[in-house]
Structure 1
């Protein structure tokens, strides 16, 4: 009975929504009223996500207003740039860089390169330009405005010049060059370069003028469907201005009338479709109830949505947000802390979701996060996990002093723990599970920093005694950790070895203490990170830059060697996770150096590949492998001497 009432409520709400379809799709002036974010007033061509509708400004000028009051530009990488001050009268803004703002110390490395690759922005010639020449191979010929500084290694210098000078100084001494524009309104010298950078830099934008629209008492906006400026009027119509002449007004009313007629016809069609969907959903709900009866005690606890809302105190404490859901901290009536993940944009039906829940719920391993329960109620999907107080691994290995916080011994224990958890998922449980998203962000740490694999949003289930996913056609994972065969079928088949590759990339991140796809170092000539570590290990020059001491050198080199084996280009040349555990438990002298992996991660523009585009990616990927020679087409060398 409760299910039927829920369906009727859904039908009633959907009918009301469709009845007001034309008015809901019509831009509303009130939605675009200027809003305050910190000390800035946000209006066209900018718009605040969550406070204004997306049609109130350009899609590339979306603003996120955080609790700190900084209007961050969402389209910039990781919302790195934010607005310090807006000057609407001359279409310009003073931007700040969060990466620069959080830098501490008297002499940080100058890896700042500022660039704008989004929105209608142009860096103003009013700025000055700070150029860093660091790690130079030889001493460059210095002009009067060059100053040496000790932040880099080898020869390092900094220069201030007018922004219009561009790249007047050639890279004659084979230096690494970083450039940062800054306003320079407060004067200052090159010796104060960090404070100068924190002033921010001036940009201008070129968009359609809002003057005429405002003069006609309209509200400016942007129609993303045709990429055209629109003036939103009080009567719900929109054009280039809010018209006073009858002809233009009549035309707009005629368009509105036609839209209303079409909306009415569409409403009738949708009513029939909704009735059909309700009947199908009712049958699916009956099937779900039958499945729950079949699983019996094997199924994790089923929560009601109202229970989860109470446990999370109406979603008060958000722990994080990812591509598949938002996680909230909760407290059960018995006092036990939990993490509740509410899934969004779920395309699976109830039965598929429930089968996955039961399969993951059957897992029981010290290095796999425990699934305590689930919620499936109408379109709502949620998972209840044990709470991990020390959050995720990335918070530690990407910090300023990761090895000081955790220590190499603890990092080594975490590496072995994750390997054992993956070995269990691949071989130990009744239904084999390929995770497809192994990365530091998905490794959670309990009170004792014991690692637990989490976030099975991309996981795929394998039949018993199988480890190959021959039917998978979609690319899944996180850029920088995706195995080559996942985005390039010409390399090999997708299998549990794809998780091995991701694990290997994570090991190298733990050794190097920096992100494989890190963008704060915006230098196109920078060496591919895993190759940098490989060259140092192969040359026997140590990994001093990664905070390694004599006592911990063996741990670091061992983790690096295992990481190289796991990231071999051909899947068959990678060890199984069981073999990985053995390698980590052996001494360094028993491990061999594998061939250098030559295939890198897919480019950022291939993040949203569809299956039809995989052939072109295969061709690029195979070409980029160069002269890589696989060790074998069967089980690889075990990496042991």
Structure 2
């Protein structure tokens, strides 16, 4: 007579269901691990479910892949960082890891970021929380900021450089306490819930150098028994335990395992089903009530907040650098929206001031377009990048239909006010205009190939180039921007986007070639032409017919070696202007493959002008047809062909962004 097993009324049934769901994984795991032995990297033994990248594909699980580097150290790669593996306890399904910079005794700071929502198949082992490594441009006097420097400030080759200050900051720090001069360098795991009260040495010696632990769960606990045998045994035991619990414990009947020939009466089975149904209903009913409440909440929220898409986006973007402000804070920092800087189709821009005294520009968005897509584009793009020639997004606000973006304040406004405005015009030297053009080129080159993703702006124009107190240019307004993989040489767009006069021809005429980063190069060329002429490229009120379209006029003058009146300028400034004309002429070639990349443009800026050649004349059909459509309304009574109508419709279907002044 077999010995009865301990009873497991409901948990046995749950176990049976879980095992059934895991049957395919068990079978695959058995095949995948059939011919593999454990291996060693350094002092770490690697066996199922882990594998090395150098092992055959049938060994281990791909999601548990480790690396063995050139120093014979086992490396765990997560999406936002790499860590050295110190040990693996297979019996406890636990792995211990440490930041590589902490494994050496030098001035290096921890740099490997860990995000709780992005750890793949691993889960945290309590206690484990996160802390920020922040780099500040000034010293912060606050108990919340714990000095993170491992070496004296004056030591050579120190990390960070001597002119910056690095601190540890708890992950629960309020946005109000996050200083504007700081940026987040890394999100580091630490084996306590709160770092307040710890000194710098304590954090390194007691919290960081011991490493941190993660656990993993897999379909079954042991590989000793056959997966199929384990499945059948667990299933039989679960079903037997379930029925046995009712008959033996509730009704004092004989034990099934002891009396295989025993059959319970029909009424017993009916009662078992009734009790089971009642129990399931009791468990499900609270869930149904909660679900109904959640549906009602969502329904009401969708009616109160038209931009629910934005909230869902922000929930997924936990690693954004900008601070999220409340609308009340936005009102306070803008002093009730009294100092208005500008207005456009997107809304209005106001001058604001943070508590630290730092001035900001607050873009208060109007009615959201495309279900908040412009807001999402701007936050998702500019919220993660930092470059001297790209506008910095310091914060944002979303409360229902109220949306705002907070930027660094630009005292000198936008570039169009410098080159177009006649009243109170700031007369900059050609050297300064050359530096502005070079800065814009550097900013675009960074967007195209300096980030993890390729960022195409699609709306480069003087209105979207901001100037700080030193007239350093900042590429701004990413409402039309798109992010693509760096491997995508050609991207897919369903509609033309940009502003007439700067939009690349291939966005309208599909037969010219695919859409790529060369679209931004074309827009930069048109912007460069306007910097040279200090006027709009198309000017129908020009004195001479040949000067109405400035790029064509200036190209012809330089191509034929004719003098251009630049006023009282030096020989060096004449060379700068000539170089900008040559670069702009290359950038506005009609076919995309005729234009240089922004990296090549930067090389041309640094090249001797005598080594640069004028390109072929770039202004050919169908481009001339495209520019002609701007005067279509005044000539509609004159004969014209259908291609002109089609061009006009295509160009006016683009998303033109209004003037941005701040």
Give me the TM-score of the superposition, normalised by structure 1: 0.48
Bigger Cα Rg: 2
